Amino acid sequence: MEKLLLTWFAEHGRDLPWRSTRDPYAILVSEIMLQQTQVERVVPRYLAWLERWPTVESLAAASPADVIRAWQGLGYNRRALNLHGAARLIAAEGWPADLTALPGVGRYTAAALRRFAFAEDVLPVDVNVERVLRRTGATFGPVAAHALMDLGATVCIARIPRCRVCPLAAHCPSRGIREAPARKQGPFEGSFRQRRAAALRAVAEGPRPLAELDGEAVSALERDGLVRVAGDLVSLPGDATPPTLVAGVRPRTPRVPHRAR
């Protein structure tokens, strides 16, 4: 089955920019961005990110505020701080033997780095690969990693697999079987995630008075290290924008910020 899969991949595989490099930093950027974000949204942001910060050292030297601003629109903004923290650790100490020691790097991301950056004999199993392995009951080697990912993302999809165009269909025991839809995350519109995103977007434009923002959202962002609250002023961590640039705001003695109830 692996030979059939690789033949299909040679013709139908996706042309993704991070597949043309062995640079572990570039691959780390792609893997962190791809966590919970669709490929088509990641591609332009990945290219822009590497144009701005082409090396792990350049990202490590950036301020957290600049990193958070550059991440806006990708969602799950804590990933930006994880990537920044990983870059700082790598720049200071080198790549750790245990890649899961890096912020934001779990078992799958570590396996992807080991395979695609360091050419180790490891098969990274994401949700798409797991689905193909489970449905086919077949065994594939690490060389088929990208092919498995593409088959799972474009043909062997979760709810209604496209069995008629699958290169493995003739040998697949699950051919024609549909699965119950997985439980989906609630809609973004009107959610607390949207409120957090709106508050962070406002602060990313420049420090803001706490009274102008969603206090509950700010508290959650502060707990995640995405904003800092000093007195009545909310800003990004490491933001060099002087508070006096915000109209009508005067720096005050730091106090415990108001918590929305």
pLDDT string in tens for the chain (261-residue length): 999 999 999 999 999 999 999 999 999 999 999 998 999 999 999 999 999 999 999 999 999 999 999 999 998 999 999 999 999 999 999 999 999 999 999 999 999 999 999 999 999 999 999 999 999 999 999 999 999 999 999 999 988 999 999 999 999 999 988 876 666 667 777 788 899 999 999 999 999 999 999 999 999 999 999 999 999 999 999 887 544 444 333 444 334 444 443
Q: Rounded distance, CA 235 to CA 21, Å?
A: 36
* Model pLDDT, residue 254: 38
Residue range(s) of every CATH 1.10.1670.10 domain in the chain? 1-12+121-184
Helices (H), 72-126: 78-93, 107-116
Name the amino acid, one letter, at 121. Answer: D
Kindly give the interhelix angle for 24-34 and 39-52, rounded to the nearest 10 degrees. Answer: 140
Which residues sit opposite 235 in a β-bridge?
Answer: 228
Burial of 186 (0-12, 13-18, 19+ CB in 10 A): exposed
Residue range(s) of every CATH 1.10.10 domain in the chain? 192-245
* Model pLDDT, residue 261: 35
Catalytic residues: 31
Domain at 23-116, CATH class: mainly alpha
Spatial contact of 36 and 75, defined as CB atoms under 8 Å apart: yes
* Model pLDDT, residue 159: 87
Tokens of 153: 């993302």
Domain at 192-245, CATH class: mainly alpha
Which residues sit opposite 208 in a β-bridge?
Answer: 234
CA 41 to chain centre: 11
Spatial contact of 203 and 235, defined as CB atoms under 8 Å apart: yes
Query: What value does the CA radius of gyration of the chain take, rounded to a whole number of Å?
Result: 22
Residue with structure tokens 């780390």?
28
DSSP state of 187: P
Q: What is the pTM of this model?
A: 0.86
Per residue in 221-247, is it b (16+ CB within 10 Å) or e — as a string? bbeeebbbbbbbbbbbbebeeebeebe
Residue range(s) of every CATH 1.10.340.30 domain in the chain? 23-116
Q: Rounded distance, CA 20 to CA 23, Å?
A: 9
CATH number of 1-12+121-184: 1.10.1670.10
Q: Of the candidates 75, 85, 91, 89, which has an alpha carbon nearest to the alpha carbon of residue 33?
A: 75
* Model pLDDT, residue 247: 37
